[in-house]
Structure 1
Amino acid sequence: MCGRDQHAEQSMLVQASDPHHGWIAGSRNSIPTKFAIEKVFERIMGEGPFDDEEQEGQWWQQLLLVPAVTGMLLRQQNRRRWKPAALAHMFARLPGLQEIHYEPWRKWFHAQQQWTDRALRLLFESLSSDRLRRLVLFENFDQTYPASYMNMGGDPMRIPSSHVSRAVANASLTLEHLSASFIWPNLTWLALTSRLLVPQERPTELDDMLRAAAAAAMKMPNLETMEIWNGEKGLAMLFRYQRAEQGQPAVLTWRGTWELTLRPLVIQAWDSVALRHRGQGHVIVKELLNAGACVKSHGDAIRHLKLSRPVIRPVSLRQIQMEHIIREGVQS
């Protein structure tokens, strides 16, 4: 599918009609029910074949070790969910694992997400390994799904868990590449998302976050690039720190759909990072995205922001963009 002409795909999609599932002439005219969503996102081995978690753990322990496997890709295309505990058992049977790309979907209301976050914390705590070098975490979402859970306390925005963040940070201590959360001595590249990167809402909190990021960067002696970004329908913003080449200034970049003002205390904090990394001051590069830039989803935001390295598998990014094109209807 990746090699097909996009216009051909769109002309095919515009003909699609399935009123029973809320689609007419290629456009969705109603949101899916929570029962439909739960069916698509059903857990793998969720209702069995084991009587309890202890029995399942014993089954995993009986499997042979497979040291030949060095990479694991769990992409967002597979909506069905692996239980985090099952993934922890799976990864434990792969002693040569060096790279993990994990693209789970968020839960749609808080009680479910709290339970999942407890399980995710245990999963990330199990990842502490001298062999693991690259960890890319991308929690995908659909802005329309929470509406199907409003009578059950559906959450429009993901409520972050400090326990999960702390577990990822601890797992990252020997990593060279992380897309998700904080790390230290070996890290050369880091990408984070922040809900504070929105126009003119909480400038003081935004400043505090950027200064906290600078303080973290001070503890990353090998850091070359840190990127903090946010994206959703209608907005996109990237803040990037790039370590100075020898004898050159460090580069601070913002790129987005509105103008981001870096206040003096924020600039001062990143100046200190540049000096720590033996740079000669800094330069600021500003890029206001063209008004014609169409940001229909977080997938479009990633494409327009041009992050220095992938934060999601390219095929997954393309799928996210196509799903939003389909959802909003395709015009021939």
Structure 2
Amino acid sequence: MSSWDRLPAEIRSMILEAVAEDYRFDSEQPYGRAGYARVCREWQPVFEQRNFQRLVLDQDRIDDLEQFMTKQRRELLEHVSLRIRLPEYDCTVCQSEEDEETIRNTNVDLDSNDDVFSTAVWKLLAILSKWIVPEFESRRQQKGLTLELGVYSPSDSQHTTRDFHLEPEYPYQEAKDLDSHFEAYKQRANRLGLDSLNDPYHSWVDGHQDPDSISLESKQRIMGTLTINPTLSKAGNKKKFPNVEIVTGLLIRREFYRKIAVGSLRKLLRESLTCLRWFRHEGWLDVDPQQQLGFEKAYKNLLLKNLPPTLRSLSLFSSSNKLLHPERFTGWRANRFLGKALSKPSRSLETLSAAFLIEAQDFFADFWPPLTSHLLYPEIGRGKIRKLLMAAGRAAAFMPKLQAMEIWNGGEGHAALFRYERHPNHKTNPNPQITWASTWGNNIQLPLDVILCWSNLPQHGSRGCGTKVERIKRSRKNVKTFSIAIRYLKLRRSVLDLVSDYQVFWEEYQLCSKD
């Protein structure tokens, strides 16, 4: 420290800032940066500012939150990630559906998954509800606090499903942990020998899995639904969720497969997160069609009646893949009532993304942006694509503040995108423009009436609209998932969280490297 003290204060400050900014999460030393704050008083404010911007908790760490989160540290906090850890399981149940009866038979002393989940959520909300808004500086009031929820078992990655992002040591926790060459993924694959894994009991043969050999029950093991128990006591008295005013963002990422029951989400949004400004919900398509239908019916009511009036940004994403949902890739159609249900509440939003959960043509019975449509597919007739783009243009005529809209689709062998963009300050920026891009190139031009429909929007005045048709530079045989289409979106950050986007891109890379 004597050599350190001889350095000018400006140089010391620059070094500390560089160390703090260059830090990346290390699963072998998850609390490595925390130690820097304990070196001396000079180092403490620099590193505490970073250490307490984002907290990752499990149920065992919630009880200590009030003790170590002083008022000063609360003002630094921007993101709380609650990753609830369910009990581990072994091969006696890994091929059976995750339900309460199975859990009780496995261990009579074990709390149910719903109990574990409920207790953790209740505890955290109770603590956060005490952090009243007036305690926070103006910066905090403007930015708010993000709450992230996820549920997993450490055993999820050890049986049929070997996804890296299911592992407790997954190193990509936030945007600055990401790299450009998937180094952690490659190292893990080499370490575990996934390319040559031979485990027929878990449907692995010479490093590959046949979707038809994976049982429905093994999929349901990792894709259960968690419900928050609303009762206060064994007598069955229900209690209302605590009102958490400081939470302005709710994030549920696709990293974990389990769902939160729609009824529990509804209760959260209606009773607790009353000041929510944005909600990003990345879920997974259920492997049981009847359960998926029940989820969508319940979600319709959530969209119609339970979105907070403060909400200004909504992002919905329904994930699927070839192993879990082989039937999804032979034909899929979103339920019409979801698109219609979303159109009305979306009118109070500033940004909206709805990917693979609703259908654009249903949504345009009323309103707006980036949306997926199964009509953007090379085998679909040009007339249907034309009708969709005309409907979107007619809807855009009633959106005087619209700056960007993207309708897109992607999957095995295809990717397509229609984009409209207009800068609000039209005096100093180019004319509005519509773009059509697809993997099937220039074979489908934009019809003249579509171009005229978009050019004649009343918000354009006499300026008209530019038109661009281009090919997505990837051969159809090398397109394995929707990831390629997402790369071409200008509203990409509205569709997926950055870490989720990275995971999707890696999954595409893996599929291409196997062919």
- Greater alpha carbon shift after TM alignment, 320-329 vs 258-267: 320-329
TM-score (norm. length: structure 1):
0.83
2:373 corresponding residue in structure 1:
194
Question: Percent sequence identity over matched residues?
Answer: 27
> What secondary structure is seen at the aligned counterpart in 2 of 1:139?
strand
Partner residue in 2 for 1:9: 185
Q: What corresponds to 1:23 in structure 2? A: 204
C-alpha distance in structure 2 between counterparts of 1:172 and 1:183, whole Å: 11
Q: SS state of the match for residue 456, structure 2?
A: helix
- SS of equivalent residue, structure 1 residue 145: coil
Instruction: Please state whether the residue corresponding to 1:316 is helix, strand or coil.
Output: helix
How far apart are residue 170 of structure 1 and its match? 1.9
Q: CA deviation at 1:211?
A: 0.4
| 1:178 paired to 2:352 | yes
Instruction: Tell me what 1:34 maps to.
Output: 216
The equivalent position to 1:117 in structure 2, one of 296, 301, 313, is: 296
User: Cα offset for 1:288?
Assistant: 0.9
CA separation in 1, counterparts of 2:365 and 2:311? Answer: 14
One of 453, 464, 471 as aligned partner of 1:288: 471
Mapped pair 1:43 → 2:225: yes
Deviation at 1:316, TM superposition (A): 1.0
State the number of aligned residues.
314
Q: Distance in 2 between matches of 1:76 and 1:286?
A: 33
Residue identity matched to 2:185: E
Classify the secondary structure of the residue corresponding to 2:417.
strand
Counterparts of 1:8 and 1:263, CA distance in 2: 46
User: How far does residue 108 in structure 1 lie from its aligned partner after superposition?
Assistant: 3.5
Distance 1:24 1:253, change over 3 A: same
- For the residues of structure 1 that align with 2:311 and 2:462, how far apart are their CA atoms? 30
1:249 aligns with 2:431: yes
User: What is the rounded CA distance, in whole Å, between the counterparts of 2:277 and 2:399 in structure 1?
Assistant: 21
**Alpha carbons of structure 1 residues 211 and 183: separation in structure 2 relative to 1, 3 Å:** closer
Within 2, Cα distance between the matches of 1:104 and 1:279?
43
Contact 1:250 1:282 in 2 (8 A): yes
Cα–Cα, structure 1 residues 292 and 196, in superposed 2: closer, same or farther, change >3 Å? closer
Matched residues in 2 for 1:223 and 1:204: separation? 26
**Segment drifting more, 283-292 vs 248-257:** 283-292
- 1:309, 1:277 → 2: CA distance? 25
Higher RCO, 1 vs 2 (CA within 8 Å, ≥6 residues apart): 1
Q: Deviations over 1:254-283 (max 9, x none)?
A: 22212331111111211222x433361121
Unaligned runs of 5+ in 1: none
Equivalent in the alignment of 1:75: 253
Give the Cα separation in 1 of the matches to 2:513 and 2:492: 30
Aligned CA distance change for structure 1 residues 42 and 23 (closer, same or farther; 3 Å): same
Q: How much has 1:183 moved relative to structure 2? A: 8.8
Equivalence map 1:79-228=2 (5 Å): 79-92=257-270, 93-147=272-326, 156-180=330-354, 182=363, 190-228=369-407
The code of the aligned residue for 2:373 comes to S
| Residues 439 and 475 in structure 2, CA contact (< 8 A), matched pair in contact too | no
Q: Which residue number corresponds to residue 501 of structure 2?
A: 317
TM-score (norm 2): 0.55
Shift of 1:134: 0.5
Question: In structure 2, do the counterparts of structure 1 residues 178 and 30 end up closer, same or farther at CA, with 3 Å as the change threshold?
Answer: closer
Partner of residue 110, structure 2: none
User: For the structure 1 residues 8 and 134, does the alpha-carbon distance in structure 2 shift closer, same or farther, using more than 3 Å as the test?
Assistant: closer
| Contact 1:238 1:256 survives alignment (8 Å) | yes
Following superposition, the deviation at residue 168 of structure 1 comes to 1.4
1:307 corresponds to: 490
Counterpart CA distance in 1 for 2:468 and 2:454 is 14
Q: 1:95 to 1:37 in 2, by over 3 A?
A: same
The one-letter amino acid of 2:372's match is T
Shift of 1:314: 1.5
More helix by share: 2
